Amino acid sequence: MVMEVKKNPNINKGAAVLSVIFILLFFLLIGRFFYIQVTKKIEGEYLEELAEDKWTKTQIIDANRGTIYDRTGQPLAQDIPAYTVYAVLDENYPNHVKDPNDTAEKLAKVLGGSKEKFKQILEQDRFQVEFGSSGRKITHSQKEAIEKLKLPGIGFIREKKRFYPDQVFASHILGFTNTNTEKEIEEGVMGLEQSLNKHLSEQNGSVTFQSDRKGIILPDEEAAITEPKNGKDVYLTLDEKIQLFLETALKKADEQYKPERMIGIVADPTTGQILGMSSYPSFDPNQRNITDYTNYGVSWAFEPGSTMKVFTLAAAIEAGVYNGNEQFQSGSYNKIPNTKPIQDHNYGRGWGTITFNEGIQNSSNVAISILVNEKLGVDRYYEYIEKFGLREKTGIDLPGEQNSTILDKWPRDKVTTGFGQGSIITPIQQVQAFTAVANGGKMMQPYVIDKIVDPVTGDAVKESKPTVKGEPISKETAQEVRDILRTVVTDGTGTLFEIEGYDVAGKTGTAQIAENGKYLTGKGNYVYSFLGLAPKDKPELIVYVAVDRPHLEPYEVDSTVTSQIFTYVMKNSLQYLNIKPNEKNKTSNTAQKSLGIELKNYQGKSVQSAKKELISQGFKVEIIGDGKEIINQIPFSGTKILDGERIILTSNGKMTMPDLTNWSIADVMKAASALDVKVSLIGSGYATKQSIAPGQFVKKEDYLVVELETPNPNDLEPHVSIQTDEPVVKD
């Protein structure tokens, strides 16, 4: 018997409700589908654009900043590969930093800096970190060193960096760059990197393509490529070898004499090309390890001192008012109304009645004053200053050039400008003016940029040519000036600048330094300079050197530092350029004696034999102590000394004080050093009184007071041939 099952009416109603809901949802989804298909939008976003963004990839194609080369094609500034170090810290990531302490210690050894700093970075609660400037743009060798450590979690991002392979080489000229993070390129912030930025700057390219989720380009897709544009290449007139000679000489002088600053310039006088230029203190553009980036060669205007006499001499010869054999009374010049007399640099002693040629050789301020004030007249002299370009910038293609300040208000200033006091001039202005003397009267504009080249086509987009800025003097005048300047080196203030086999012509300079309204005094408190050329009859090079306040020993001649720099740079540069020495003009014994000989070591020898030998060579000898054997000497052995210089020999006996009357400051300091006593100087000039009487026994660290004054020339001992260019403090 079959029983009948009754249906629950509520179930039928529920099924009907569900069916209606499903039908509504179905139509809702269909409606949404058709809406999206028609409008191609979802939540206000276009689906095609979202898909495009999701599958489209864009990669930057790096362009290179232009390379800066020297004249021979050696790179001085270029882009090289670099790397940024990063570390993955998330422990959920397979390759992460496992030992922060060990990793920090090893990274610090390669990258520099403290272990604690690296450890602090590695202990942050982040997925990934970088290490700031310490880990940014490291070299390939640093990258390899880190890779050898096999540190878990450490990786690298490939980049590029601006690199200066020769480090301090011409750094004030080249300058440096900083990274523009928005454009992802380097931008110049100093030197040629800045002034030529529009030429050197690059434009990165890009490639855009569609890919799958793994980044693989989709079939039949064409990549959209924007080609990168490399910067233009720049070729300079600098010669890497000559610049290296200059850098080497300045570095050695800096280490030995610790001056406030130095400048050296090497130029080709026939073209105006700058072959070398350096300022000290220098810096490494890769490190940027100083705060003063001033290029003193173009930005430092100062009283030039007696190098200015070159142009005064040239003006007098060109104007037809110079007679080198005419005589005048040296020492003091008092023909400027209402002002104190102008004195020669040896405290107004002068050299008696001498010729004007001898006045130039001895760097006589009186000779120049007569030429400016009486022979030429100040107005005509200032016309020649204009002709030599000394009142305007040279226009050299380097940033930061300063102009001169030529004083022309007072009669005395106009006269003192003739021997380099009062008015201020830059080194590059002097070099430009000197090209007229070296180049047959034609004055050449100095320049550093030879050409700018498109690296793709090889075409020069800019090219420099030698430019004649004027002809202030004739070819005949230029030759006569060089002939006279040659005698300055053989017989005058420039004997230390002689180079065997080459006819050097030039002029020494000692510039006073104004500070707080007064001129500094005392040994070493000057800017010592030399402006020279070689060979005399066919000049190949001009070399200018200036050294500001070197720390000289009491017995060292003022020109010691500048002569060491000049002779090293000029000799090596001439030899590098295959300028053969003139066998006929190799230094004779007489010239070598004038140049200076290297003092032998007399320690251990008898007093009498050493004294006899030195006197026979023309030196003054002072024996301190009553012993028979020499135990010390000043100057020390190996020092270059000049004819007539005073030499202090200390014996092994009891020390007695010598008679210092009429001794120079340098000689007084020599004696104080030999006796090992403390010394105090009162006044300036030559010694007249001393607190410890001559012949009195002296103990170590006794206190010696010496009074000095500028005496009457007749009261002084005969003049000797130790030449300095030290000026008298100006009123």
| Cα–Cα distance, 675 to 655 (Å, whole number) | 7
Q: Do 522 and 399 fall within a single domain?
A: yes
Same domain assignment for residues 273 and 154: no
- Tell me the Ramachandran region of residue 9: left when phi exceeds 0, alpha when psi lies from -120 to 50, beta otherwise: alpha
Select from 308, 315, 272 the least CA-distant residue to 477. 315
- Geometric angle at alpha carbon 513, from 510 and 515, rounded to 5°: 170
Say whether pLDDT at 649 is over 60: yes
Q: Which of 32-46, 173-187, 395-409, 449-463 has the lowest mean pLDDT?
A: 32-46
Cα 277 to its chain centre, rounded Å, is 7
Least confident of 80-84, 618-622, 682-686: 682-686
Highest mean pLDDT among 60-64, 90-94, 210-214, 377-381: 377-381
Domain total of the chain: 4
Average pLDDT for residues 413-428, to the nearest whole number?
95
Residue 351 dihedral angles phi and psi, to the nearest 5°:
-135, 25
Determine the pLDDT at residue 624.
86
Looking at the fold, whether 402 and 449 belong to one and the same domain comes out as: yes
Question: Would you tell me the crossing angle of helices 378-387 and 309-318 to the nearest 10 degrees?
Answer: 110
**What pLDDT does residue 637 have?**
76
| Mean pLDDT on 482-499 | 93
- Residue 1: how many other CB atoms lie within 10 Å: 2
Q: Name which of 169, 219, 171, 185 is nearest 55 in CA terms.
A: 219
Q: In this structure, how many other beta carbons lie within 10 angstroms of the beta carbon of residue 393?
A: 15
496 and 625 in a single domain? The answer is: no
- Bridge-based pairing state of the strands 678-683 and 703-709: parallel
**Assigned domain for 231 exists:** yes
Residue 241, domain member (yes or no): no
Is 1 among the domain residues? no
Q: How confident is the model at residue 340 (pLDDT cuts 50, 70, 90)?
A: very high
Bond prior to 281 in cis (omega within 30° of 0): yes
Res 81: pLDDT: 82
pLDDT tens-place string over residues 69-113: 999 888 998 888 888 899 999 888 888 999 999 999 999 999 888
Which residue range(s) make up the domain with 470? 261-324+371-593
Minimum mean pLDDT among 14-18, 45-49, 290-294: which range? 45-49
Asked whether residue 2 is assigned to any structural domain, the reply reads no
Cβ(156)–Cβ(140) below 8 Å = no
Whose tokens are 């009195």? That residue is 696
Q: Is residue 335 part of a domain?
A: no
Does some domain include residue 420?
yes
691: annotated active-site residue: no
Residue 264 DSSP SS3: strand
Alpha carbon distance 665, 676 (integer Å): 16
What is the pLDDT, as a whole number, of residue 594?
40
Give the model's confidence band at 631: pLDDT under 50 very low, under 70 low, under 90 confident, else very high.
confident
Structure tokens at 449: 């940029």
pLDDT at 731 over 60: no
The answer to whether 443 and 458 have CB atoms below 8 angstroms apart is no
Say which DSSP state 581 is in: -
pLDDT at 729: 35
Residue 172, domain CATH = 3.90.1310.10
DSSP string, 65-105: PPPEE-TTS-EEEEEEEEEEEEEE--TTSSS--S-HHHHHH
- C-alpha pair distances (Å), 69 with each of 162, 239, 261, 671: 14, 9, 27, 53
Q: Is 251 within a domain? A: no
Helix (H/G/I), strand (E/B), else coil: 355: strand
**172 and 202 both lie in a single domain:** yes
The DSSP bridge pattern shows strands 460-463 and 630-634 to be unpaired
* Closest CA relative to residue 396, chosen from 310, 472, 469, 294: 469
Choice among 151-165, 403-417, 427-441 with the minimum mean pLDDT: 151-165
Q: Residue 633 above 90 pLDDT?
A: no
User: Do β-strands 646-651 and 620-624 pair in parallel, antiparallel, or remain unpaired?
Assistant: parallel
86 and 225 both lie in a single domain: yes
Average pLDDT, the chain: 84
Q: Rg of the chain over CA atoms, in angstroms?
A: 38
Catalytic residue among 306, 404, 529, 563: 306
Percent of the chain with pLDDT over 70: 82
Q: Are residues 198 and 181 in the same domain?
A: yes
Q: Are residues 43 and 69 in the same domain?
A: no
Evaluate whether residue 358 is within a structural domain: no
Q: How confident is the model over 136-172, as pLDDT tens digits? A: 888 878 888 999 999 999 998 887 888 888 888 888 9
| pLDDT of 213 over the 90 cut | no
* Rounded alpha-carbon distances, angstroms, from residue 166 to 78, 147, 282: 11, 27, 13
Residue 623: strand, helix, or coil: strand
- Provide the pLDDT for residue 423: 95
Which residue has 């590029």 as its token pair?
160
Contacts of 301 (CB under 8 A, 6+ apart): 402, 403, 404, 405, 424, 425, 426
Rounded CA-CA distance 615/298 in Å is 47
Tokens of 637: 């052995």
Which range is least confidently modeled, 114-128, 261-275, 386-400, 606-620?
606-620
The average pLDDT across 520-536 equals 91
Q: CA–CA separation, 332 vs 369, rounded Å?
A: 10
CATH number where 418 lies: 3.40.710.10
Q: Which residue has the tokens 């050894």?
A: 109
Q: What pLDDT was estimated at residue 470? A: 96
Give per-residue pLDDT as tens, 541-576.
Answer: 999 999 999 998 877 778 889 999 999 999 999 999
Same domain? 298 vs 208: no
Kindly indicate the confidence band of residue 275, based on its pLDDT and cuts at 50, 70 and 90.
very high
pTM to 2 decimal places: 0.73
Of residues 41 and 94, which shows the higher confidence score? 94
Question: Where residue 634 sits, what CATH number does that domain have?
Answer: 3.30.10.20
CB 710 within 8 A of CB 665: no
Q: How many CA atoms lie within 13 A of 118 on its CB side?
A: 24
At residue 592, the pLDDT reads 41
Task: Give the integer Cα–Cα distance in Å for 54 and 141.
Answer: 38
Residues 220 and 292 in one domain: no
Q: Is the peptide bond before 341 cis (omega within 30 degrees of 0)?
A: no
CA dihedral 194, 199, 201, 203 (to 10 degrees): 160
Q: Are residues 127 and 176 in the same domain?
A: yes
pLDDT on residue 70: 92
Q: What is the largest CA-CA distance in the chain?
A: 165
Same domain, 176 and 298: no
**Least confident span in 397-406, 626-635, 638-647, 654-663:** 638-647
Highest mean pLDDT among 4-13, 208-217, 671-680: 671-680
* Residue 632 CB partners (closer than 8 Å, separation 6+): 603, 649, 650, 674
